[in-house]
Amino acid sequence: GAVVSQHPSRVICKSGTSVKIECRSLDFQATTMFWYRQFPKQSLMLMATSNEGSKATYEQGVEKDKFLINHASLTLSTLTVTSAHPEDSSFYICSAQGGLSYEQYFGPGTRLTVT
Amino acid sequence: AQSVAQPEDQVNVAEGNPLTVKCTYSVSGNPYLFWYVQYPNRGLQFLLKYITGDNLVKGSYGFEAEFNKSQTSFHLKKPSALVSDSALYFCAFPVGAGKSTFGDGTTLTVKP
């Protein structure tokens, strides 16, 4: 099946700094990628839809200036958490949709801890 | 609003016993429905999907799900649970533009 990677898997940063998370589709081209946030033992909350070569579409309540998304190529999308605060600590998961399938392929997630 | 619901936060079963993780849907028309599994600190893995055709869908790791239109359900089942099946399970359906809506998740614990 299709493989999606995320890097880093874990990151600890200090409050006020910025952190970049990469999401790559390894064996297919993903015109659309999605970024989710997940709190412990809770469901996934869609943050934004990332489209290659265009601006991301953010869900209501998600600050676009805080969570910067770039989808520069068909295999790479990045999420940058700017001026991170402890409340941004969470598990961030990306997914990619391949072709006409409704199935999404998920990355392994990134655990962000802001101290 | 269209949605899926997982009425149980937690399901506990003994190893070797059959397991069921419930999902009901409120989706107009013919729904596409998915099950995903999430192991601790990992992303979601696709288990199976219902698009059309047979109501009984077989998926990965011995799981299956039955689409029941009259009961608007899509319960996930396995005849004999393994300890390694312990994980968080999500029911989901696509809502357009590639997005999916997920249920709140059910934590399955299989005890030896």
Q: Can you list the pairs that A22-27 forms with residues at least 24 positions away whose Cβ atoms lie under 8 Å?
A: A22/A76, A22/A77, A22/A78, A23/A76, A23/A77, A23/A78, A23/A79, A23/A94, A23/A96, A23/A107, A24/A75, A24/A76, A25/A74, A25/A75, A25/A76, A25/A96, A25/A98, A25/A105, A26/A2, A26/A75, A27/A2, A27/A3
Chain A hits for B39, CB-CB cut-off 8 Å, are: none
Q: How many CB pairs under 8 A join A and B?
A: 56
Q: Specify the pLDDT at position B8.
A: 96
Average pLDDT per 10 consecutive residues for chain A, totaling 115 residues: 89 97 90 90 88 89 95 91 96 83 84 96
To test the contact with chain A by mutation, choose from B52, B99, B106 the residue with the greatest count of A C-beta atoms within 10 A, namely: B99
Predicted local distance difference test score (pLDDT) of residue A98 = 66
Mean pLDDT score, B76-91: 96
Does the beta-carbon distance from B41 to A109 stay under 8 Å? Answer: yes
**pLDDT for position A100:** 62
C-alpha distance from B79 to closest chain A C-alpha (Å)? 25
Identify which has the larger pLDDT, B100 or A92. Answer: A92
Q: List alpha helices for A1-59, DSSP H.
A: none
Indicate yes or no: CB of B46 within 8 angstroms of CB of A105: yes
The pLDDT of residue B98 is 74
pLDDT at B66: 95
CB-CB under 8 Å, B36 with A43? no
Structure confidence at residue A101 (pLDDT): 63
What's the mean pLDDT in B31-52? Answer: 90
Mark A13-49 as b/e (b = at least 16 C-beta within 10 Å). Answer: beeeeebebbbbbeebebbbbbbbbbeeeebbbbbbb
Q: What is the pLDDT of residue A103?
A: 75
Closest residue in B to A48 (Cα) is: B99
Q: What percent of chain B has pLDDT over 90?
A: 75
B47-83 pLDDT tens trace:
999 988 889 999 999 999 999 999 999 999 999 999 9
Q: Does residue B97 register a pLDDT over 80?
A: no
Candidate from B42, B97, B105 with C-beta closest to A42: B105
Give the per-residue pLDDT at B106.
96
Q: Which of B34, B99, B105 sits opposite A49 (nearest CB)?
A: B99
